[in-house]
A and B are shown apart, each in its own frame.
Chain A
Amino acid sequence: MTTTEMAQTTQATRELTFAEAINDALDIALGADPTVLLLGEDIADPPGGVVRLTHGLSTKYGSHRVRATPISEQAIAGAAVGAALGGLRPVAEIMLMDFITLVMDQLVNHAAKHRYMSGGTSHLPLTVHTRIGHRRGAQHSSSYEAWFMHVPGIKVCVPATAADAKGLLLSCIFDDDPCLFLEPTPMVRSRRRSEVPTGDYRVPIGRAAVPRAGSDVSVITYGQQTPAALDAAAMLADEGISAEVVDLRSLVPLDHQTVLTSVAKTRRAVVTHTAARFAGPGAEISAMIHEELFGQLERPVRRVATASTPVPFAPSLAQIHSPDASAIAESIREVMA
């Protein structure tokens, strides 16, 4: 959250974990609007979700509104599309993004294209939330957000703080278009608490945050790499390098203006994410910066991202697969050289 937004937020806050903030958002949505419906595997009590994101909600709102489903991703996503078509605001949980492969038809061919194909006569206010970056080997860990950046008609949000998790999820649920909300697993599993505004707090989709201002280099990132970028910026401050961190918060729509304003100021940029480097989100962002600011750049934009391999299980490889704060710092030093 920018300082401006914080100043505008007059609401009270309380300390929540990232997972609790998501639960809070779902709770508020269910309480505020009887058309909000949750669907997903194991989401009802008990257990209230495999990582307890929906804990307590079926008890509070009924298992007709917080519906545990069979292990049947196509049926879940299809039901979300149909429910949205029928006047509800469904929120479907797909356990992990690797399983999004099973719902590509419903999300890509139906959810994303429906408003356009119907000439705007109907639309689908649905949200799909799923987790990325879960270090459990090749089929349970992937970050495929770039796929959806390439599909016109679906918004893509990736929060990096508990407050943004709540604010973006509520915005997704009450948005009139399909939204994909991605939860970085290390954040979902983290017990760290931070200040989260109470009540129906919304973070607008399509507006980046600048959690650290700087003058020498812009680090463009989102999700799990945001804290890593902030750590890298802190490390470099000791070396006299002033790094600005831009947390995109949503990839579609992409806040071009905040990115370009930052890079126009610093004239150097590093883009980092946990999605694979090759044809990853950084390719689009880097291209955009080069197209708009070519003459003003001191150095070409660098991309620091995970290796374009399946996610390895071996801890020794997993460690080098995904760039940490030191790797980001090293790239920043390179563009500063």
Chain B
Amino acid sequence: MTTDDVDVGGLSASRLVEIYRTMLTVRLADERFMRGLSRGEFPGLYFPVHGMEAAAAGVIAALRPDDYYISTYRGLADVLAKGSSLPAVFGELLGRVTGMSRGKGGTMHLADPERGMMLTTGIVGSGTPIANGLGLAAQLLGNGRVTGVSFGDGATSIGALPEALNLAALWNLPVIFVCHNNLWGEHTPLAAYTRTARLAERATPFGIPGVTVDGTDVLEVYAAAARAADRARAGDGPTFLEVVAPRVLGHSFGDTGDYMDKAAVEQARANDPVPKFGEWLVAHGHLGRDELEAMRQQVTDEVEQALAVAVNSAGLPADELYTDVFAPGVDAPR
């Protein structure tokens, strides 16, 4: 870990440990949900976030609780980092009434507006123009909120992104464009869909600084995101933050990833952001080895209990089919 050289931005030991706990929660929730799917405990749809723990937790740790965030269908890490509760997240993944959107959104639409998690989109790149609107609202209302929007590297190929970048720059919007570069656009490797070597360069022609960081190094991610958030809050406009964190699993649960280069995957697995940061905390005296082990057990139990709550929750009653199409009192056409 190169984090010895990184300015940890005055993060206290307890904040550092809290960030690690978030990463660990994401890891264990991701693993446990896929294990449940594999074992047939429940049916479901899922996009793994293994390897994205630092990319998500590092960025969101640099934001305030009331800042806005928009994520994607691969949104578990962002949503947990933004503070959503495990039972509500699992409830939503399983389509139960205990879900954060009463199960009506599902895997690809994890919204938790009370925590600033405004939406996650199933449409590649579509969150970026929406982030501008949140930024515009913050700018006009003068509430000092920053908006982060994450999207995969694949989204750099779709028109919504350059349209959004241009407008964000033009209007100096307090938005951080967080490109989670996992080196794959669905089943196509980066080199097969673009000649751009460093995706952050895409921001430069729009007059937006483009920064690339190692997405397996949470403190490097945090430091870059903190600079971007400061810039945005000071009224200096948007930043494009490319966070490189290689994908080690398939695109979605059930995709074996057999088309991925095995050596590259092994290399990425060896550079796992979660144990890397855990070991760093131990080495720097922020966490004892026994505390690390105890935390793992504690989070494992929390995940298990939260999942049990979700699994044992009811589905939606039939009379909710037509609710929430429009505001209460307005009937949807039938």
Contacts and interface: CB of A to CB of B under 8 A. Distances in A.
Interface string B165-209: 011001100000000000000000000000000000000000000
Nearest to B122: A109
B83 interface: no
Given A79-B129, A177-B330, A72 B100 contact: no
A155 interface: yes
Interface residues of A, number: 48
B323 A80 contact: no
Interface secondary structure of A, over-half rule:
mixed
A214 to B, nearest CB: 27
Given A79-B132, A114-B119, A253-B333, A72 B163 contact: yes
A64 B140 contact: yes
Contacts of B171: 67
Interface stretch (A8-16, A118-126, A135-143, A264-272): A118-126
Contacts of B126: 78, 105-106, 109-110
Given A79-B136, A88-B140, A117 B131 contact: no
A72 B133 contact: no
A105 to B, nearest CB: 6
B286 interface: no
Contacts of B331: 253
Contacts of A90: 133
Interface in A112-167: 114-123, 149, 152-153, 155
A119 B134 contact: no
Interface size class of B (residues with CB under 8 A): 35 or more
A109 B127 CA distance: 11
B59 interface: no
Interface in B71-123: 99-106, 109, 111-114, 118-119, 121-123
Contacts of B134: 82-83, 85-86
A83 B111 CA distance: 16
Interface in B280-334: 323-328, 330-333
B141 interface: yes
A119 B97 CA distance: 9
Contacts of B99: 119
Interface of A: 35, 37, 64-65, 67, 69-70, 72, 74-75, 77-88, 90, 105-106, 109-110, 114-123, 149, 152-153, 155, 175-177, 206, 252-254
Q: Sort A-B residue pairs by CB-CB distance and give the 5 closest, nearest first.
A: A82-B133, A78-B129, A86-B137, A119-B101, A119-B102
26 contacts: A70-B167, A72-B163, A75-B129, A75-B160, A78-B160, A78-B163, A81-B129, A81-B133, A82-B147, A83-B133, A83-B134, A85-B119, A85-B134, A86-B133, A90-B133, A109-B121, A110-B130, A115-B324, A115-B326, A117-B104, A118-B101, A118-B324, A119-B104, A119-B105, A121-B111, A123-B327
